[in-house]
Each structure stands twice: as C-alpha cells, then as structure tokens.
Chain A
Amino acid sequence: MRSTEGTGCADTTTALTLHINGERQERTVDNRTSLLDLLREDLRLTGAKKGCDHGQCGACTVLLDGRRVNSCLLLAVAADGTEVTTVEGLADGDALHPLQEAFLAHDGFQCGFCTPGQICSGVAAIAEAAEGWPSAVTPDGVPDGPVELSGGEVRERMSGNICRCGAYVNIIDAVREAAR
C-alpha cells in the first residue's frame, strides 16, 4: 500500500506444479501471488477465506505437506512442489472428515467464515498432539507420547484461528471429540 515505485514487477511470473487435494496442478503465477490467492482466484477453491491477509486470523489455514499454514503468508512460488489440502479436500466423497462431522454435531460455527480455517487447523492440531508435539501449556519436558487434548491444550493450539462469532466453546468440544 505504501509503494511509491509503481507496479513494477507484474511481468515477473513463475511456472509451478502443486498437488492440490490430490490433483496435480500446473500454473504460471504472478510472483506476488499468495498461496491463498492462487487457491481462491486461480483454482477457484474459495473454501479458504481471507480474513486479514496478514497472518492474524487463521481463516486462510490450509495443510501444506500435512502441516497447517496461513496460506495468506506464503507466496505461491514458495509452495512449488508441495501437497496442499484445503477444506474442500478433507471429505472422502460424501463421507465427511470426522472433524467436519464434529463441527456439525457441536454447532462449532455460526457465520461459517472462519470454519474452513478452523477445521484445517484442527485437523493438524490433532495430528500434532498425536505426534507428541508440545504446546505452550504442555507440562515442561518433551512428551514421551501423544499429548492428550485437554480443553486447555485445545484452547492453546487453536488460538491462531479467530472466530468473531464466538463459537470457541463449541469448537473446543468438536476438536476434542474428533481427537478421541
């Protein structure tokens, strides 16, 4: 927004190959394009949402090689060769992912705008805990096995995803249920 240089680099593009929700995608992108904008505007996968475009809200969370990332903070060129899973890629045909089912069962959303990010983030958070990754509230020391997702653990691990509708209480229940 504060550039004084004119638009400059619009002619600078890069050819990429990504695997998105299991499909190989070849694209030539403007180097300025974020992974989020590539998904939303080029591939028309509009499930990932733009809440802030600055890594402050988590609405754009997707899985990159299985790990959660804020796709607004990642340039598409930096994702060359990766596997990306978006909310559209979580269900198995008509069978929803268990966390999607849990969000429905617990009313883990209202407006639904943060929901794709919450669900992608939750899927990864459950995996991280299962792999024994500690969080800021895990007791000191390296866990010697999976971390049990207490309410406190879920609160901490899901705090990168803002929900202005205030569905947190239900989101916590949904994530804990899916983790069981």
Chain B
Amino acid sequence: MTTLPRTLGADTARLEGREKVTGTARYAADHGHPDGLFAWAVPATIARGEITGVDTGAALADPAVLTVLTHENAPRLEEGVDPTLAVLQSPRVAHRGQIVALTVATSLEAARAAAGAVRLDYTSEPHDVLLGLDHPGLYAPEEANGGHPADRERGDFDTAYDEAAVQHDAVYETPPLHNHPMEPHAATAWWEGERLCLYDSSQGSSTVQQMLAQLFGLGPERVQVTSEHVGGGFGSKGTPRPQAVLAAMAARVTGRPVTLALARQQLAAVTGHRAPTLQRLRLGADRDGRIQALAHEIVTQSSAIQEFVEQAAAPSRTMYVSPHSRTTHRVTRLDVPTPSWMRAPGECPGMYALESAMDELALACGLDPIELRLRNEPDREPDSGRPYSSRHLVECLREGARRFGWQHRDPAVQGRRDGRLLLGTGVAASTYPVMVSPCRAEAHARADGLIDVRVNATDIGTGARTVLAQIAADALRMPLDRVRIHVGSSKLPEAPVAGGSSGTSSWGSAVHKACEGLRRQLAEHDEVPETGLTATADTTEEAKRGQEYARHAYGAQFCEVQVDTATGETRVRRLLGVFATGRILNPRTARSQFLGGMTMGLGMALTEHSTVDREFGDYAERDLAMYHVPVCADVPDIDVHWLDEEDPHLNPMGSKGIGEIGIVGTAAAVTNAVHHATGVRIRALPVTPDALLPHL
C-alpha cells in the first residue's frame, strides 16, 4: 500500500480558481447564444387583487420585441409542488413584485423598454402586510421548516418560571433579510425538440430538473439543467426560482434560446428571503445561573400562497440545560412575498435571540457570560434525550477566550472609553445541525490512468468541486491530479442541493463510497481494461444512520466594538470565531466559509434591514443602495480558528457542515458587545445609529 500524504485535510487551492480570476468561468447569464433572445420580467404593482386588462400593443410596436407573455397567453403549466413557480398562470396577484408579464426581444435594451411599456389594469383589494405579536391571523402550523415540530413542551414551564429566583423576559426582533447573492437569478433556456435544456443559477440542478419536468409535463430525462458556476445563493437558489420557468416558457414560445436575468430590484419579491421574527424569550434560573425554565416563542409570517415557518425556536431545544421548556412557532399569512431559506434558517435568528437572552441572564445573575454557558452545558440533548455525537462548545468558548484575551475583560458596562468612543466586548455561541441526504455518485477509471468522478454537486462558492476531488483522491489513495471531478449538471448522478450545510456530507459520502468501490476493483486488475472500470454508489441507506445521536456543530464568537457617542455608529474592531465542526477537509476553503458567514452575520447585526411598505406591500429596500450588505470598509480583520474534533458518528470523512454556522451567533456577539460598551440593549436588529443614538 502506498503511503501518500493524505489529500483530505490538506490546504488545497480551488480547482476552478484560474477560471474565476481570468473571467472565463461562465455563469447562467453568460451563455448567450448568437441566435439568442433576451427576456425581461414585469412585476405586479399592486399588493393584492387581480389583473383585469392587458395591453401589450405599445410593447410589441418595436419589431425587436417578439412576444409578451402574460397569464392570457403563456403556456399552461402542470400543477407543481411550489406555488411560487406557477408564473403567468392566473390573473390573481398575491403580492407586489410578483412577476405578471415577460417581454422577449432580440436585445436586452428592447426587452427592458418593452417591459416598461406593458400596460396592465388591476382591481386592487385591501391588503394586510404588517406582522405583529397580536396579528389576528396567527396560527400554529403543523410543523416548522426542516420538519421541526411547531411546538414542544417539556416539564412544567409556567410553574418553574414562576418559581425561578432570576427571571428574564424580553422580545427580540429580526427584520426581513435578503440573501442577495452577487449573481442575480438567471437562466438561459432552449428546446431541442421535446427536450428542455437550460443553464440555471441554482444550488441544485437535480431539483430544478425534477421540478421543471413536472411543470412542463416531461419525463425528467427530457430536461437537462446545468449549474456549472453559481454566483452564490445563500439559500435563495436552493429551490427553482421563476427565472428558470419563465426562460423555458419563452424559449418554447419563440423557438429560440432565451436568457432571463432578474434585475437586482426584483429579487427581494420573488427569490425568497428570511422572514421577520418576533421572539419572546423567557429564562428562569436559580441564583447560580442554572436554567430551570426556558420558553422561546416565535411569531413570524409567510405569504398568502405558501407556508414557510422559520424554525427559530429549534436551537433552544438543543443548546442548554432546560428541565422545563416550551418552544413554539406561530405564523400568519400576509399579502407579502414568500419567505424561504436564508443561510442558517432557524438557527441564525433563533440564536440571536437566545444568545442575547443568555447575555442578559448572565448580567442578572452577576456571572461572566462564558461561565453562565458552562454552567448550562447539557450532557444529553435536552429535547430528545439523545447523547451528542460530539459537542465541544465549552472548548470553543475556552479557546476563544484565551485567544481573545477575555480574562482581562472588566464586566462593568461603559467601562472603556477612548475619546468619544465607547468600547466593549461580547461573546455568543454558535450551533448548526448536522444533516445529510441520500446521494449517488460514480467513479470511473480510464485506461489513461485518470479517474473521472461524477456527482451532481453544485459549487456555489463553497469549494465543493475541490473538496470532493480531495475526498475522491483520499478514498482512491491517489494523488489529487489523477482525479477529474465532474459536478454541476443534471446529466450526472443525482445529488441533493447545496444547502443545510449538508452538501459535503451528502455528496462526499457518495463519492467516498464510489471511490472505495473502484479502489477494490482496481486492486483486482493488473491494469485498467480499455473500456475502463466503473463503480457506482447510492447512499440512501447510509444517510439514515446516526440518528441515535444528536449531531450538531458548535462554535463561539467574540467581538469587540466601538460605539461613537456623537454619531451612534457602531464599528466592529475585532471578530474571532472558534469552531468545532468535525474534521476540516480543506483548511483554505473552510476558513473562507467561516469568514463569509461571520461577515454576513456582521451585516445582520449592524446594517441589513428591510421594511415592508405599509402602503404598497412590498419591500422598500430592494437594491444594494437601500439594503446595506457589508462592504470592505465594514469588515475588520476576522480571526478564524477551529478545534480538531473527532466524531465517528458522522460520515466517512468525519466532517460536519461549515457553510452556515459562521453566521450563527455573530449578531448576538456584536450586540452583546454594544451593550457592554454602552449599557444600551437594542433588541431589534440591526443596531443602526438611529436606534442607538437616542440612548447614548
């Protein structure tokens, strides 16, 4: 047996890096065809009602405009599972910004001008778009996102809380947040006879293939979807989006390839977003800070057309000791755009509230916030009673404290001043569940000595391509340069989406299994036959394993802020994350994922905010000038570390997902630091100068 250095775990540069820095990596809108057409979407201008008249005369006056599709003339779709994809099927308008027409022209300029010339008449109906704790439409859903039960009760919360020596009761608010990947959702579609082909910006082209096949009444083998390079998604490309359906329709009607890239301003309404939450958190503890009672009650919203319930109470079921617990989700259906997945759905907003409440409880108990967490460290998952497969939160907190210099911290608020700046530090925990889905893969040894590894994974910037090649090389006991990895096409063995931080686990398990199979075959042959050798894998069975353990990743985030007492501006000076996420398979791309998550968390804490317009019913902050994602000047040196964590109950690689945990806890670490600096507790994100200044 060879003794190659392990490829897995080695710092490996992205395989597609050269394409990305030279501009040759092609994304969905970069596949224009010489004969191709351009489409432009027309959004509804009312919040609720019906289209009563369509006048496309002015739009079609330009000979460059080939067609204008509306509910009157668009191809009929079969019923699908996602109502947001039933575009141009009915005159009903469920929310402002819903796509109600599509222009198709020989140039982008003509398509766009035509979109402005489409005349639609509507009858408007009164709309209901504002969420409140007492909204009359609130109901208990059957379950929250991710299959989590809507409600869980353990013990007797009310009595335990009443009897608790220390009580904390507060409501924390998170606003709607927009994913805004840098690549707006785009598709290029064409038909080859009865075969639909498209490039789509998607987090999983197997899913797009299946759902388009259903909508267009085709066998899945007649739909081919490629998502070779994808400009981020953060959940918003985890399900097919209207651009894919619309481009396919337009290509069908015109008989030519059609590219549709949604405009940035259109994304907030039709590509999902993180729903706003109102979270009441009650913690009852004894004088030593041991939690006796925990209630985490979520109020959130979804749209009229689809139920989506942000599972924000889920982390309170697993994080801390809580003998008496109540965790609930209530949702109301408003005339607003449909929410969906955004990086760490559930954990991200839920942990903001829980970790803020823990900080407040620590103060109420006179304890250091790290010490409070150590005292509430469970030995089994409270909600399920299952043992943890591995849990190193305590080690993350201790290691982070050491690196950050936490021991020198003066617990007093407003304790440090530098001119007109107030300085403070804060800490929060991070967590994200381990998930895995069934996946297929194929490994093929070629006569020329190279190995083709095929799996329909999607690299949305995570480094999936690279890490899968590493996994393959490792399983084959071969150097990396003998592996040719093929991802990003529905022609490849079926694979789940890049989501839920489960991509590497799911795809990697299948790749590992196929490559192990191939290695056994290779061992039986002196040389590879002319036709090659092939091994396939399907991990349907493996994906079911490990359920006897509670499997989560953990981390601790530390932040130092300065708050300007004259302007109310908060700036992050230092941010440190220490994570325990199983084995790190590629330190370079892993670090980038943690950095990216923490950067997005910083935006959630300080700048990202969206408001439903009471009059119009859509989001007011629809572009990047209004919706403030962090820019380079907002982001300090971020320090990322991880612990070597061995966990035999995960997958053959020993890894936990890392794409989402970085955003979990960041916002609370920042706002806890703001409180330490100023003594002001802002319980509604983001902490903007106007929120803080009146209290300084």
Contact = CB atoms under 8 A, between A and B. Distances in A.
A8 to B, nearest CB: 7
A58 to B, nearest CB: 9
B181 interface: yes
Contacts of B183: 49, 51, 111, 113
B108 A167 contact: no
Interface of B: 13-14, 16-27, 29-30, 32, 38, 58-59, 61-65, 107-110, 112-117, 180-184, 229-232, 234, 261, 263-264, 460-463, 588-589, 591-593, 595-600, 623-625, 629-633, 635, 637-638
A44 B595 contact: no
Interface in A26-43: 30, 32-33, 37, 40-41
B266 to A, nearest CB: 9
A158 B635 CA distance: 12
Contacts of B637: 151, 169
Contacts of A7: 58-59, 61-62, 64-65, 110, 113-114, 117
Given A51-B183, A59-B182, A110 B18 contact: no
Given A1-B116, A88-B23, 19 more contacts: A10-B63, A30-B107, A33-B107, A33-B109, A41-B107, A46-B29, A88-B24, A96-B18, A103-B17, A107-B14, A110-B461, A111-B183, A112-B229, A115-B20, A155-B632, A156-B633, A164-B180, A165-B461, A165-B592
A158 B634 CA distance: 11
Contact of B109 (A6, A37, A86): A37
Contact of B23 (A2, A46, A52): A46
Nearest to B113: A7
Contact of B623 (A52, A164, A169, A170): A52
Contacts of B116: 1-4
Nearest to B20: A112
A60 to B, nearest CB: 11
B599 A168 contact: yes
Given A46-B30, A56-B623, A100 B21 contact: yes
12 contacts: A1-B116, A5-B117, A6-B62, A41-B38, A50-B261, A51-B624, A110-B232, A113-B181, A165-B596, A166-B635, A168-B635, A169-B595
B632 A168 contact: yes
Nearest to B640: A169
Which of A104, A119, A166: most chain B Cβ within 10 A? A166
Contact of B108 (A8, A37, A162, A172): A37
A107 B182 contact: no
A156 B635 CA distance: 11
A171 interface: yes
Contact of B631 (A53, A113, A154, A159): A159
A54 B626 CA distance: 12
A58 B402 CA distance: 39
B61 A6 contact: yes
Nearest to A117: B182
B562 to A, nearest CB: 14
B109 A165 contact: no
Interface in A132-180: 151, 154-156, 158-172
Contacts of A37: 108-109
Contact of B593 (A32, A110, A151, A158): A110
B21 A171 contact: no
Q: Report the 3 A-B pairs with minimum CB-CB distance, sorted nearest first.
A: A47-B23, A113-B231, A111-B461
Interface residues of A, number: 67
Contacts, number: 220
Nearest to A175: B632
A114 B20 CA distance: 9
Contacts of A4: 116-117
A91 B264 contact: no
A50 B184 contact: yes
Interface of A: 1-8, 10, 30, 32-33, 37, 40-41, 44-54, 56-57, 59, 86-88, 90-91, 96, 100, 103-104, 107, 109-116, 119, 151, 154-156, 158-172
Given A54-B264, A104-B13, A159-B632, A116 B62 contact: no
A104 B180 contact: no
A172 B637 CA distance: 9
Given A30-B107, A164-B232, A113 B27 contact: yes
Contacts of B107: 10, 30, 33, 41
Given A41-B108, A164-B180, A86 B23 contact: yes
Contacts of B596: 110, 165-167
Nearest to B107: A30
Given A10-B64, A46-B26, A50-B261, A112 B16 contact: yes
B236 to A, nearest CB: 11
A33 B112 CA distance: 11
A30 B20 contact: no
A10 B110 contact: yes
A110 B14 CA distance: 9
A54 B631 CA distance: 16
A110 to B, nearest CB: 3
Contact of B597 (A54, A104, A119, A166): A166
A111 B588 CA distance: 14
Nearest to B624: A56
A18 to B, nearest CB: 18
A28 to B, nearest CB: 12
B589 A107 contact: yes
B27 A49 contact: yes
Contacts of A172: 632
B32 A57 contact: no
With most chain A CB atoms within 10 A of its CB, the pick from B108, B110, B181 is B108
Contacts of A103: 17, 21
Nearest to B110: A10
Nearest to B65: A7
Nearest to A158: B632
A50 B30 CA distance: 10
A35 B131 CA distance: 43
A52 B264 contact: yes
B482 to A, nearest CB: 22
Given A54-B625, A100-B22, A110-B461, A155 B231 contact: no
Contact of A10 (B13, B109, B184, B463): B109
B338 to A, nearest CB: 21
B599 to A, nearest CB: 3
A87 to B, nearest CB: 4
Contact of A115 (B21, B38, B593): B21
A91 B65 CA distance: 39
B22 A111 contact: no
Interface centre among B32, B588, B633 (most CB of A within 10 A): B633
A109 B23 contact: no
A116 B592 contact: no
A165 B629 CA distance: 11
A48 B27 CA distance: 11
B638 A169 contact: yes
Nearest to A89: B23
Contacts of B65: 7
B16 A51 contact: no
Contacts of B229: 111-112
A176 to B, nearest CB: 12
A111 B232 contact: yes
A100 B19 CA distance: 10
Contacts of A6: 58-59, 61-62, 113, 117
Contacts of A168: 599, 630-632, 635
A110 B59 contact: no
Given A30-B107, A164-B181, A154 B632 contact: yes
A156 B633 CA distance: 5
Contacts of A167: 592, 595-596
Contacts of B112: 1
A159 B633 CA distance: 6
A32 B231 contact: no
A37 B460 CA distance: 24
